[in-house]
């Protein structure tokens, strides 16, 4: 017991750990995406960011007090998987993380809802079926659960989408806002063909979000080439236009399942816009500080 207490005693004392604590507070009614995005930026900003965040997430999972708080923990994990690169991804696909965080959330003693169980199991399934996790501890847990007869939900229904590897997103073509058409008319109850078309269009949006997010993860804001900066600017402009169209689409679709999928994509868009805003703000603040530093040297 003393060993466990010592492992978690200062889990929230680091920059990343403190933000995990804030982002998963039981006082929150819903996700505070500004804090979650700040957490992602902080994890990417220093060497021990992933280690500190994972330590804090494990502590929160061990002591979470409600399904609402468990849902906040999952939102943090999902956002970090999408925005914090391979280091965080590799930490998540370990057997330890799967057991200490994901499976702990849906222990019977916690009385998890079916939606919460589907969300966790869907995340495990999605990650386990990624080729990068083919020899991981999480894959082992996934196979063990299958052998026990655990039923996993449809991946789309779980709401979690694997961001993919860097090589996948780097080579993905940039879609234009025109790839997502306008839907005109009043509220409609879409046919199966229309639903398939909407999902295809949402996939186009997510493709751009994935490229945008991947670039923000791997680019150094203080050392970017002009072509990369131009591509970031174009991605931001394109995604803004796409968001306007899917919001209009959401108001016209009378299908709850599709509406939830659109809302999830809209959340992904808002997340990446926040990250881009922080990226540009960091570059601007650094540029403003440079002349003062030069003048100080001259004065000396």
What pLDDT was estimated at residue 184? 43
Q: What are the sequence ranges of the domains in the chain?
A: 1-158, 165-300
What pLDDT was estimated at residue 250? 80
- Name the range with the highest mean pLDDT among 35-39, 53-57, 221-225: 53-57
Give the single-character DSSP code of 100: I
pLDDT at 293 over 90: no
CB atoms within 10 A of CB 176: 13
Distance, CA of 136 to CA of 37 (rounded, Å): 27
pLDDT in tens, 132-149: 888 899 999 999 999 999
pLDDT above 90 covers what percent of the chain? 31
What pLDDT was estimated at residue 98? 93
Instruction: Report residue 18: phi and psi, to 5°.
Output: -65, -40
pLDDT at 281 over 70: yes
How far are the Cα atoms of 12, 140, 189, 202, 213 from residue 247, in angstroms, in the given order? Answer: 37, 40, 17, 12, 20
pTM to 2 decimals?
0.57
CATH placement of domain 165-300:
1.20.58.160
**CATH fold label, 1-158:** 1.25.40
Q: Which range has the worst mean pLDDT, 57-61, 103-107, 287-291?
A: 287-291
Pair 69, 24: CB distance under 8 Å: yes
Torsion from C-alpha of 197, 202, 203, 208, nearest 10 degrees:
140
What pLDDT was estimated at residue 289? 63
């Amino acid at each position: 017991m003393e060993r466990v207490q010592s492992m978690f005693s200062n889990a929230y004392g680091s920059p990343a750990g403190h933000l995990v604590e804030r982002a998963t507070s039981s006082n929150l009614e819903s996700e505070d995406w500004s804090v979650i995005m700040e957490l992602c930026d902080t994890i990417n900003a220093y060497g021990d960011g992933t280690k500190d965040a994972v330590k804090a997430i494990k502590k929160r999972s061990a002591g979470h007090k409600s399904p609402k708080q468990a849902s906040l923990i999952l939102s943090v994990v999902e956002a970090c998987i999408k925005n914090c690169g391979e280091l965080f991804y590799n930490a998540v696909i370990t057997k330890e993380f799967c057991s200490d965080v994901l499976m702990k959330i849906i222990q019977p003693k916690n009385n998890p809802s079916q939606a919460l169980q589907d969300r966790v199991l869907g995340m495990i399934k999605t990650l386990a079926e990624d080729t990068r996790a083919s020899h991981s501890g999480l894959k082992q847990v996934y196979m063990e659960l299958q052998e026990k007869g655990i039923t996993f939900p449809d991946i789309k229904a779980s709401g979690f989408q694997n961001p993919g590897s860097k090589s996948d997103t780097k080579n993905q073509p940039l879609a234009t806002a025109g790839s997502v058409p306008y839907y005109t008319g009043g509220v409609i109850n879409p046919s199966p063909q229309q639903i398939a078309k909407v999902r295809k269009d949402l996939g186009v949006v997510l493709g751009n979000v994935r490229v945008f997010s991947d670039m923000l993860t791997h680019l150094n804001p203080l050392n970017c080439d002009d072509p990369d900066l131009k591509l970031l600017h174009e991605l931001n402009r394109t995604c803004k236009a796409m968001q306007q169209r899917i919001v209009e689409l959401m108001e016209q679709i009378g299908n709850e399942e599709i509406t939830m999928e659109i809302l999830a994509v809209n959340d992904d868009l808002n997340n990446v816009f926040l990250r881009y805003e922080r990226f540009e703000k960091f570059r601007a603040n650094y540029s403003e500080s440079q002349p003062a530093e030069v003048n100080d040297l001259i004065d000396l």
